[in-house]
Amino acid sequence: MNIIPSKKMSLYKPAIFSQLKSFAKKQQEEKGFELIDLSLGSPDLPPHEMLREHLSKLSLLPSSYGYTLTASNQFKEAVANYYKRVNHVELNPETEVIQTIGSQEGLVHLPVAFCDPGDIVLTTNPSYVAYDAGIKLAGATSYYVPLDEERGFVPNLGAIPEEIAHKAKLLIINMPGNPVPASPSIEYFTEVVEFAKKYNIIVLHDAAYSEFYFSGDRPITFFAAPGAKEVGLEINSLSKSFSLAGARVAYIVGNAEMIKIIGQLKSNLDFGIFDPIQSTAALALDHAEEITAQLRTIFKERHQVLTTGLQELGWQIAPSDGGMFVWAKYPYEMDSVSFAFTLIEQVGVIVVPGTEFGTEGEGYVRLALVQPADLLKKALENLKSLSI
């Protein structure tokens, strides 16, 4: 049988993660050294015991195994209460909250709900890989907004040509970001709202790392900016902040009309999330302050250890005060893919080459804060013996 993939499949290249892991496993078998994996942003910390016990208890109930179809009232109300307590933002749980099967699913499908083939979507280079995947799925076209290093690597809206802005349908921003952990400000979000209103552009803010901050106040929500709910949406996940990555549960909040359109699409795509997971997610949101305080203490130490250590080795670090990653420019004349494989081969440290996130990532790597501080110190020691 001659099996031919669709033409659309030519737009999707295999992710490099599996190649890195396969090469690392081979090196480990041949050389016997310990691998330190800083590639995938998968939390190494377990969910809070309260959440594990709750999920386990509900999973034993025979009544838990039917279709849920949509988010439970308990989940939507927990999201709305979380936003009110933590962000001081009022949300209508019935019309301004929708559940997604992890943020990846939401991010990839959202452009399908709003973009026609040929529409322009404003995103950044580098950016999280799911953005481009969703844009391609919708048949839309990416326009890459440069990052403004002088303003902390936020997308430079002033660099967008007038004719592009008039044609754009959607703007995707992400702060604290992945892979570049830019931090938001009320001034910047206000600028985004004004830009969106002027050009009639929908805004999606990816807030997946909003609980990862290391000093001062928490990163502000997009809805802190006046008029933000008129133009946009915010997506967040329980994967990182509550160590529920495998549970695949997230939500989009914001403009009620936009939420309704996403709901119409999702009613044709899935039958909801396992009810015990929804209930556990609601419990996590209800106890967010208690659960995430410990998270921040641990990740603050990791962030400090890794950024300080890399700078001492001559690496340039993108300034950050939050997020789950370090974006670093290494001091060697080598392309980022070759460099990532060299790190594995010589010192057993796994990172992601910057070009996985876009052409402007050349010369950079992304390091995830997903190992204990002691292992990060060992990784830094290993890097000292790098021979290039």
**What CATH number is attached to the domain comprising 30?**
3.90.1150.10
Query: Are β-strands 120-124 and 168-174 bridged in parallel, bridged antiparallel, or unpaired?
Result: parallel
The predicted structure's pLDDT at residue 81: 98
Domain identity same for 261 and 330: no
Q: How much of the chain, in percent, has pLDDT values that exceed 90?
A: 82
Q: Has residue 172 been placed in a domain?
A: yes
Least confident of 21-25, 325-329, 333-337, 347-351: 21-25
pLDDT digits (tens, 9 = 90+) for 207-224: 999 998 887 777 899 999
Q: Could you tell me which residues come within 8 angstroms of residue 219 by beta carbon, excluding any fewer than 6 positions away?
A: 175, 176, 183, 184, 207, 209, 210, 213, 322
Measured in whole angstroms, how far is the alpha carbon of residue 377 from the centre of its chain?
A: 25
The answer on 135 and 278 residing in a single domain is: yes
Domain final position from 232, 254, 289: 289
* Residue 160, in any domain of the structure: yes
pLDDT given at position 217: 76
Instruction: State the Cα–Cα distance between residues 80 and 100, nearest whole angstrom.
Output: 15
Same domain, yes or no: 111 and 247: yes
Q: Are residues 67 and 132 in the same domain?
A: yes
Average pLDDT, the chain: 94
Write out pLDDT tens, residues 67-113: 999 999 999 999 999 999 999 999 999 999 999 999 999 999 999 99
State which residues form the domain around 267: 62-289
pLDDT value at residue 131: 97
Nearest one of 364, 78, 104 to 250, comparing CA atoms? 104
Residue with tokens 């890097």: 383
Domain boundary among 237, 269, 289: 289
The residue among 266, 289, 312 that closes a domain is 289
Question: Is 112 within the bounds of a domain?
Answer: yes
Which residue type, as a one-letter code, is found at position 152? G
The residue-averaged pLDDT of 231-258 equals 97
The answer on pLDDT for 243 being more than 80 is: yes
Domain count, the chain: 2
Q: Decide: 227 and 193 in contact? Cβ < 8 Å.
A: yes
CATH number for the domain harbouring residue 66: 3.40.640.10
Lowest mean pLDDT among 98-107, 124-133, 148-157, 332-341: 148-157
pLDDT in tens, 55-68: 999 999 999 999 99
The verdict on residue 51 lying in a domain is no
pLDDT tens for each residue of 301-316 = 999 999 999 999 999 9
User: What's the pLDDT score for residue 32?
Assistant: 76
Q: How confident is the model at residue 33 (pLDDT cuts 50, 70, 90)?
A: confident
Instruction: Return the closest-CA partner of residue 326 out of 219, 178, 209.
Output: 178
Contacts of 171 (CB under 8 A, 6+ apart): 121, 122, 123, 192, 195, 196, 201, 202, 203, 204
Together in a domain, 201 and 160 = yes
Please report whether residue 32 resides in a domain.
yes
Q: Is residue 1 part of a domain?
A: no
